[in-house]
Amino acid sequence: MPLKAISLIGLLIVGVLLSIPALRGSSTVEAQSQADARLRQRAMKLHRESIVVDTHNDITSPIVDEGFDMGARDTSGKFQTDIPRMKDGGLDAEFFSIYVAAGYAKEGGSARRALQMIDGVYEQIRRHPESLELARTVSDIRRLHKTGKVAALMGIEGGHAIEDSLPALRMFHQLGIRYMTLTHTNTNNWADSAGGISVKGERRHGGLSDFGKEVVREMNRLGMMVDISHVSDETFSDCIEISQAPLIASHSSCRALTVVPRNMSDDMLRALAKNGGVVMINFYNGFINTDYARPGMPAPAKAAEKATLDMLMQHFEHAIKVAGIDHVGIGSDFDGVDGLLPPGMEDVTKLPTITYELLKRGYSEADVKKVLGENLLRAMGQVEQVAAKLQASGVKPSIRKIDTKIDAK
């Protein structure tokens, strides 16, 4: 039989086979599977090339309270973070939360607790110098990225940690603190809090007191990022008005999707973008479940325990849409939410999923790199520049003390 005839017969057979719905569907599924595999491979390559920054991780609490060591992979299922898994997840810079619970504001010992947490981070760096190194600047982070080490940074969660003392704030900065969340769920002596899902925020100062405004100014002078996660809307507005440097929200999500006081409204997102700041999306189910606390629904009495990966990505996309691609980042809250995380984001090894999901949704590689870390590095660099300018202009450390009759009313 002539070769041409054989070819024609072959084409007819293929045509008949493809006309069978089941086979045609199988071919489509296989093609989609191959395309997805290529996308995942591309995502992993991009993720490894990028500087991935997470601005909020609470593994510090188990380190201090339970003697947890980050050197070995945890297989208990209890924790979401350790050094082997940080490397698996392509994490380059971690802000360890120096979390001071609200109870310390009443019982005393806030600064001591913060020092214990800082010591815990220092001890992990001492034990694992091949993997962790303290970073204080953007240039430190970029340098360590090239070495393969994880840059260890710290942020205070709960402004009561400074015990109403600007000298204490300065000493914390010298120890390596590079942001401070002005409040936690409690209103302190100089800043109002948003409260919590089941805890109403106390409006004592109408935002920041006069001393609270001085705290923000001194943070600008030092080069410490002002973190507005947990603060009331009025406190946020005061910070926007006063701060000469970009603000950050180290672990917040979008109120337009999930109506909890801790999330940021669209007006806040727009104001933060205008300020040059960055909102880092929180992974906690209670802040991202878009069914449990939808706009127009009654305020939830407690946090949602379940959410989905798609809900998390909706928060990323909404923040990008409202604030802009230059003003969104990652603030996981790993090890701070009792494991209440969406399937697919169970621990730090899952961070490449964010890269994959953003690429899948059509974002360019350059834009994905911004969300993974470059946006935070840009804002942090601007904070450093403002501090250098203020100090060069002769601005001296503030000697302002809290006036208990006015500030702490």
Cross-strand pairs, 97: 155
| Residue 409 banded pLDDT, cuts 50, 70, 90 | low
Split at pLDDT 50, 70, 90, the class of 32 is confident
Query: Does residue 141 carry a pLDDT above 80?
Result: yes
* Domains of the chain, each with CATH number or no CATH: 47-54+159-392 (3.20.20.140)
User: What confidence tens digit (pLDDT) does each residue in 198-253 have?
Assistant: 778 999 999 999 999 999 999 999 999 999 999 999 999 999 999 999 999 999 99
Q: Sorting pLDDT into bands at 50, 70 and 90, what band is 24? A: low
Amino acid at 395: V
Residues 371-381, mean pLDDT to the nearest whole number: 98
Percent of the chain with pLDDT over 70: 93
| Residues ≥6 apart with Cβ < 8 Å to 46 | 355, 359, 365, 368, 369
Q: How many CB atoms lie under 10 A from the CB of residue 386?
A: 17
What pLDDT is attached to residue 163?
Answer: 98
Can you give the chain as a three-state secondary structure string?
CCHHHHHHHHHHHHHHHHCCHHHHHHHHHHHHHHHHHHHHHHHHHHHHHCCCEEEEECCHHHHHHHCCCCCCCCCCCCCCCCHHHHHHCCCCEEEEEEECCCHHHHHCCHHHHHHHHHHHHHHHHHHCCCCEEECCCHHHHHHHHHHCCEEEEEEEECHHHHCCCHHHHHHHHHHCEEEEECCCCCCCCCECECECCCCECCCCCCCECHHHHHHHHHHHHHCCEEECCCECHHHHHHHHHHCCCCCEECCCCECCCCCCCCCECHHHHHHHHHHCCEEEECCCHHHHCCCCCCCCCCCCCCCCCCCCHHHHHHHHHHHHHHHCHHHEEECCCECCCCCCCCCCCCCHHHCHHHHHHHHHCCCCHHHHHHHHHHHHHHHHHHHHHHHHHHHHCCCCCCCCCCCCCCCCC
Q: Residue 399 burial by CB count (10 A; 0-12/13-18/19+): exposed, middle or buried?
A: exposed
* End-to-end Cα distance, the chain: 100
Task: Give the pLDDT confidence score for residue 403 in this predicted structure.
Answer: 86
Mean pLDDT of the chain: 93
Residue 196 binned pLDDT confidence (cut-offs 50, 70, 90): confident
Residue type, 84: P
Question: What is the spatial distance between Cα 382 and Cα 361, in angstroms, rounded to a whole number?
Answer: 30
pLDDT at residue 18 in the model: 45
For the residues 351-369, what does the mean pLDDT come to? Answer: 98
pLDDT tens string 301-346 = 788 899 999 999 999 999 999 999 999 999 999 999 999 999 999 9
Would you place residue 266 in the very low, low, confident or very high pLDDT band (cuts 50, 70, 90)?
Answer: very high
| Tens of pLDDT, residues 80-100 | 999 999 999 999 999 999 999
Which residues does the annotation mark as catalytic?
A: 56, 58, 157, 184, 230, 251, 333
- What does DSSP say about strands 328-330 and 177-181: parallel, antiparallel, or unpaired? unpaired
Which pLDDT band holds residue 6 (cuts at 50, 70, 90)? very low
pLDDT of residue 2: 45
HSE value, Cβ hemisphere, 13 Å, CA-based, for 119: 9
- In this prediction, residue 348 carries a pLDDT of 98
Entry pTM:
0.91
For residue 5, what pLDDT band results from cuts at 50, 70 and 90? very low
Q: What is the mean pLDDT of residues 358-368?
A: 98
The answer, yes or no, to whether residue 28 has pLDDT greater than 90, is no
Give the pLDDT score at 405: 73
Q: Is the pLDDT of residue 392 over 80?
A: yes
Find, among 241, 236, 211, the residue nearest to 403 by Cα: 211
